[in-house]
């Protein structure tokens, strides 16, 4: 390479490096200003945070009142009753849904080879194999037997 090409490539690398450093500094300043502009939640919203907890959902009426009154801001009226939310039969995270295959397998390149049913098959001492998806594997297994 000629010396002028090396100088030009060095200048390009230096310019890109300076641009990236400047972008990093700008992002840092914007982040710090964003963090400083964010204020704390008002104390009035504290009961909403308590209502979102699992402990509140599982508590009875009297314990809910105690939990809510503990976070009420100064000067606010105390709560003397709470309407119970609807009761869940189970935790949503523990709900088990049956598996549903969303895909149409009619265009798959490999067909499922079903094993014969128990009535048509002779009694065999070998363990029963599950349905085989790969026909070549099925053919190899039948040749080996």
Q: Report pTM.
A: 0.35
- Distance, CA of 75 to CA of 43 (rounded, Å): 11
The predicted structure's pLDDT at residue 45? 84
Contact (Cβ atoms closer than 8 angstroms) between residue 46 and residue 72: yes
pLDDT tops 70 at residue 52:
yes
The predicted structure's pLDDT at residue 125? 57
**Residue pLDDT, tens place only, 57-78:** 888 888 888 998 888 888 888 8
């Amino acid at each position: 390479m000629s010396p002028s090409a090396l100088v030009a490539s060095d200048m390009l690398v230096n310019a890109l490096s300076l641009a990236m450093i400047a972008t990093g500094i700008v992002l840092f300043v914007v982040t710090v200003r964003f963090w400083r502009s964010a204020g704390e939640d008002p104390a009035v919203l504290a009961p909403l945070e308590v209502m979102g907890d699992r402990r509140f959902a599982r508590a009875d009426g009297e314990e809910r009142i105690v939990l809510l009154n503990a976070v009420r801001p100064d000067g606010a009226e105390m709560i003397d009753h709470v309407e119970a939310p609807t009761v869940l039969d189970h935790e949503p995270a523990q709900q088990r849904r049956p598996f549903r295959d969303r895909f149409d397998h009619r265009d798959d390149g490999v067909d499922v080879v079903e094993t014969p049913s128990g009535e048509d098959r002779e009694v065999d001492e070998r363990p029963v194999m599950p349905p085989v998806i790969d026909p070549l594997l099925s053919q190899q297994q039948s040749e080996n037997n």
